[in-house]
Structure 1
Amino acid sequence: MLLELKDKVQELINFKQEGAYWDFKREWYSKDKIADLLHDIICMANNLENTDSFIILGIDEENSYKVKSVSNDSYRMNTQKLVDFIRSKKFAGGIRPTVYVQAVNFTTGEIDVIVIKNNYNTPFYLTENYRDVYANNIYTRLMDTNTPKNMLAEIHYVEYLWKKRFRLISTPIDRIKYYLEKSDDWVESPTNWETSKKYHNYFPEFTIEFTLEDDGNAYQYYLFNQTDITPHWRKIRLYYHQTLLMSLEGVLLDGGRYFTPTPLTDGISLTQQHNWDIIFKYFIKDTLHNVIHQFYYKPDGDEETMAHNNFKGCILYFDSENEKEEFKQYVLNSWKNKSEYEKDVWVPHFPKIDGYIMEKFKRQYKDVQILKRMLIEFKNKKF
């Protein structure tokens, strides 16, 4: 993530100008300019590019955009101080921009980057004045210019920000992802014996369904952690009106007690060869795949919950694609010590099944248990 940010910042510096979602500052905001910091963050959070935005501190615009190190800046903030500053301000609905500070080192010095994450809760605005940043004023950023503190953004930009909040500027695939995050808003649809279908209560043009007939009888290692290991594969389909937005595989686990989309597959090669020596299944947070995974889980405290927990015990969960790739490198560096991680690993019974080498399933299952322990360690070390 740091390397990606550094590359992005270098790209913006090379433009040698400010833009619609980035701004340069020679130094950190002094105490008498702290209201400017709040104003800049609000403008960036309400940017019209629908993307993360950046306030880059330690770049001297008047000196060919060269680095002016902030390492000794007495007004320098870390993430915690900045978050505390934002949290102390009265925002509408109590919803505040998500921000963090990341130091980036260049050969000529250290700069700081305030990253304002893209968010659908626009427009952000105050409900109480803070110095000369006014309550109920909606600010934005047009090209390289912020809305002045004593003015309001033009009405069509304000309308855009409200439309963004309600996903009215989003694509159908983004909208259905948002709607699926609220599973209680979906209603069972009368259907035939071929599918189980639901539609969105307020936007019924969006539907999700899965087939009721088995689609093959192949086995995967995570089936053997269930009481009933019989495979029941399904097809999941997402529609906008009659347009198919997405199709993916699903599986009924433990004799139909729990349904989920099948996890994604990745692997790690311990040698220079291209084949995987370690195979794992995973989900990534905030992806449509994972949203559907969460959508179909209805905790009942009984059989479905048990089947879900058994399945979850065989799967890796990542916060981002980048985290997954970093973890794979971590595993490459740590696999030589795998014996430390495999102590007391429980392995379920793998009955003999014609046409399958059961030792391969057993190895995959055990490897994933080792990876899960490594992933906990990896995440803890990150923080």
Structure 2
Amino acid sequence: MDNLEDIILDLIDSKREGTYWDFKEEPHEDNASLLHDLICLANCNHEGDRYLILGVTDPAKGCEIKGLTSEQKNRKNQVKLVDFLSNVHFAAENRPEIEVQTLKIDEKEIDVIIIENKRFKPYFLTKDYNKSKKEKIVRANYIYTRIGDKNTSIDKSADYNHIKMMWKEQFGLNLKIEDRFKELLGDYKNWECEFDERRSAYHKIHPEFTIEISKPEERGMEPFCAFYLDNSGFYGKVFFKHNSTVIFECEYAYCDGCRVLFPSPSFMYIFKDKDTHGFYCYNLEEFDGLFASILLKNSFNFDTRTSGFPFIIFEDHNDLTVFSNYLKNNFNIIGDMETDELLNLNDPNEYRRMINLETLEKIKRFYEENWII
């Protein structure tokens, strides 16, 4: 991923302005103009951060880096800008999230106001903003945006179709149904779960999204069963439904005599010296990881009468890939670790046929001690 300086240099080199970036040779003369620019960028249709770049001329003057001075009139740092926005009357107290970064390019300082891309659009005011008669008025209940390199005029509201797109984005109506479902699964507090009796759950705000599990059936033992006092395993299917349509399905497991329920985890294989090693994990960008979050109320405590259950939780695909690759290239670190005592190995050959149980415990402990920042 490019760093900020690379991104800004590319935008300057483009010699133009666009939907998500704007150049200003100097800081705004008045706060109303600054506020209008920030709202327009915050409301624009772009998947990513937006940039208000100060100290660079507009395209008509060649996008030349003029730079700013420490004594520059109206120049605002992060604290001053956040303080300014906190005193503006935004609807529902919903303000754009901003960050100010100062870059030094060609021995000249420029300020970059970064407006984060959040699904809280549209941003608009509930009270007119202007501090003096010289300033234009940022109107209450007007919705501004930016199309191409043009802001909505300060005395007009955006076109209806653009406003409709903003509201759709806020309520997730522009997402694919799979992405919408994942988003609601991340809202673990709003799921009503009745898996013991009805084997189902529904989202309390959007009840058309449901989760159903099949009747559990006893079937063999997975290696992770060794970490429970009762090593029987009961399994079934999980169905994620929108109305009556199955959007996704996965397997679940009941362990320790049906005392704990969780989606069957993924297993990442690592082959070393003709042995199979690896680790169980969940990815919180996927259905099974998000379902685990709901079942365990985001605690990811899979223990019942034991401790040290060997599941690793990753925030996203990138974290999982980086950690997996690190283990493959540095597996000797795991091999040198001492092994904690494992429970319920009444048939070691059964469990060790595919996976080294000591390694499961070691890798999880290494992750918790060395990888989590």
TM-score by length of 2: 0.73
- What is aligned with 1:355? 350
Letter in 1 for 2:158: A
**Using a 3 Å threshold, how does the CA distance of structure 1 residues 172 and 72 change in structure 2: closer, same or farther?**
same
Letter in 2 for 1:349: L
> d(CA) in 2 for partners of 1:245 and 1:220?
29
1:37 paired with 2:40, answer: no
Answer yes or no: is the 8 Å Cα contact 2:334–2:363 preserved in 1.
Answer: no
**Using a 3 Å threshold, how does the CA distance of structure 1 residues 305 and 362 change in structure 2: closer, same or farther?**
closer
Letter in 2 for 1:55: L
Answer yes or no: is the 8 Å Cα contact 1:253–1:307 preserved in 2.
Answer: no
> d(CA) in 2 for partners of 1:253 and 1:126?
53
- What is aligned with 1:166? 171
**Using a 3 Å threshold, how does the CA distance of structure 1 residues 186 and 203 change in structure 2: closer, same or farther?**
same
1:77 paired with 2:80, answer: no
Shift of 1:23: 2.5
SS at match of 2:123: coil
Shift of 1:369: 0.8
The residue correspondences of 1:114-133 to structure 2 (distance < 5 A) are 114-131=113-130, 132-133=137-138
> d(CA) in 1 for partners of 2:318 and 2:15?
28
Structure having the higher Rg: 2
Answer yes or no: is the 8 Å Cα contact 2:190–2:204 preserved in 1.
Answer: no
Contiguous gaps of at least 5 residues in structure 1: none
Shift of 1:276: 11
SS at match of 2:211: strand
- What is aligned with 2:367? 371
> d(CA) in 1 for partners of 2:199 and 2:54?
54
> d(CA) in 1 for partners of 2:122 and 2:215?
43
> d(CA) in 2 for partners of 1:291 and 1:136?
37
Answer yes or no: is the 8 Å Cα contact 1:217–1:233 preserved in 2.
Answer: no
- What is aligned with 1:91? 90
The residue correspondences of 1:103-114 to structure 2 (distance < 5 A) are 113-114=112-113
- What is aligned with 1:237? 239
**Using a 3 Å threshold, how does the CA distance of structure 1 residues 203 and 329 change in structure 2: closer, same or farther?**
closer
Letter in 2 for 1:155: Y
**Using a 3 Å threshold, how does the CA distance of structure 1 residues 362 and 50 change in structure 2: closer, same or farther?**
same
Answer yes or no: is the 8 Å Cα contact 1:208–1:238 preserved in 2.
Answer: yes
> d(CA) in 2 for partners of 1:85 and 1:308?
53
**Using a 3 Å threshold, how does the CA distance of structure 1 residues 76 and 323 change in structure 2: closer, same or farther?**
farther
Letter in 2 for 1:143: G
Contiguous gaps of at least 5 residues in structure 2: 131-136
> d(CA) in 1 for partners of 2:308 and 2:168?
38
Answer yes or no: is the 8 Å Cα contact 2:94–2:120 preserved in 1.
Answer: yes
- What is aligned with 1:150? 155
Of 84-93 and 116-125, deviating more is 84-93
Summarize deviations over 1:192-216 as a string: whole Å, max 9, x none.
xxx9333456655433222333485
SS at match of 1:20: coil
Alignment counterpart, residue 55 of structure 1, candidates 52, 55, 71: 52
Shift of 1:83: 4.0
Answer yes or no: is the 8 Å Cα contact 1:101–1:113 preserved in 2.
Answer: yes
**Using a 3 Å threshold, how does the CA distance of structure 1 residues 13 and 321 change in structure 2: closer, same or farther?**
farther
**Using a 3 Å threshold, how does the CA distance of structure 1 residues 336 and 363 change in structure 2: closer, same or farther?**
closer
**Using a 3 Å threshold, how does the CA distance of structure 1 residues 85 and 337 change in structure 2: closer, same or farther?**
farther
- What is aligned with 2:292? 293
Answer yes or no: is the 8 Å Cα contact 1:23–1:144 preserved in 2.
Answer: yes
Shift of 1:305: 7.6
> d(CA) in 1 for partners of 2:55 and 2:267?
42
> d(CA) in 1 for partners of 2:212 and 2:169?
27
Identity of aligned residues (%): 27
